[in-house]
Amino acid sequence: MVKYGLDYTRCRWILPLLLGIGVIFGIIALAGRGWLESQTLPYVHQASLWESCKRPERGGEWTCESLMGYAWGRAAAATYLVGFILLVICFALAIIAFAIDTLRFNFIRGIGGLLFVAAVFSVMGLVIYPVKFSTEIEMTGINMFSWAYGFGWTTAIMEICLGFFFCCLPNYEDQILGNVKPTYFYSSP
């Protein structure tokens, strides 16, 4: 942002915009039914963060079982949900921080720290789910962790990366606000 001369006022909304995209990906992961799906015929298994659904090999109706009956199901859902709520709080704080004309850079570093905490909770939920699901739920055929699970990991990776950006941004406060005179390495003869 600083090196190529991009104006601070034009670029100040990039980080809150990326947080908003992370929130959308988190909503998709929470609501999606594609955490686990059958990969090959017969397509008999489909699961979300909240329930596991099966159907007979010859077709028929899906029967769903809630994963909230398992302690690990509640733990995976709770930890991922706490991470998501922290992400939403960070998004709201970033909107507030970047809307104020005099940007408070210590406030931004706090948002970065909160994003790291959100990432820890999200990763805990994303690790608990496949480990316990594959050991405690009977699966038929070849199954894969699918698109909604991938959106969950994308959200967690965005939390980590944006945490670094929010924590490192105050180190360049003077350059961002235009308080430093540019240095030119070329001098004319």
Beta-sheet pairing, 143-145 with 36-38? antiparallel
Single-letter amino acid code for the residue at 86:
L
* Helix, coil or strand: residue 24: helix
Cα maximum dimension of the chain: 84
Is it true that the peptide bond before 189 is cis, omega within 30 degrees of 0?
Answer: no
pLDDT in tens, 169-186: 776 666 665 666 766 676
pLDDT in tens, 120-148: 999 999 999 999 988 888 877 788 888 99
Q: What is the pLDDT of residue 60?
A: 79
**Which of 7-16, 55-64, 85-94 has the weakest average pLDDT?**
7-16
* Helix, coil or strand: residue 52: strand
Contacts of 74 (CB under 8 A, 6+ apart): 67, 68
